Amino acid sequence: MLPIDPQADIGRRAWVACPNCDDARDCAPCGERRNCGDHWRYLIANTGSVLYLQCPGCTHVWDHETGFGATRGPGARAW
């Protein structure tokens, strides 16, 4: 299990399903695409439309393409 990233700040959060633990699977607010007090992710950074996230439950780190705003080029990685 990875430690929580030193850049993690509870004030910078995102509500995206964790691809590793899928802990929000049976959550009613998450299922209705509402912000849930339990199933948020640390927003470590972003580059254009790509979010870099960490799950506080399982500590999995991943990037998520939102499709909003300026998208990154193929194969680009900011971190």
Under the banding of pLDDT at 50, 70 and 90, the label for residue 65 is very high
pLDDT single digits (tens) 12-25 = 999 999 999 989 98
Contacts by residues 35-43 (CB-CB < 8 Å, ≥ 24 positions apart): 39/15, 40/13, 40/14, 40/15, 41/13, 41/14, 41/15, 41/16, 42/4, 42/5, 42/8, 42/9, 42/10, 42/12, 42/13, 42/14, 43/12, 43/13, 43/14
pLDDT single digits (tens) 23-59 = 998 999 988 988 889 999 999 999 989 999 999 999 9
pTM of the full predicted structure?
0.79
The answer to whether residue 78 scores a pLDDT higher than 80 is: no
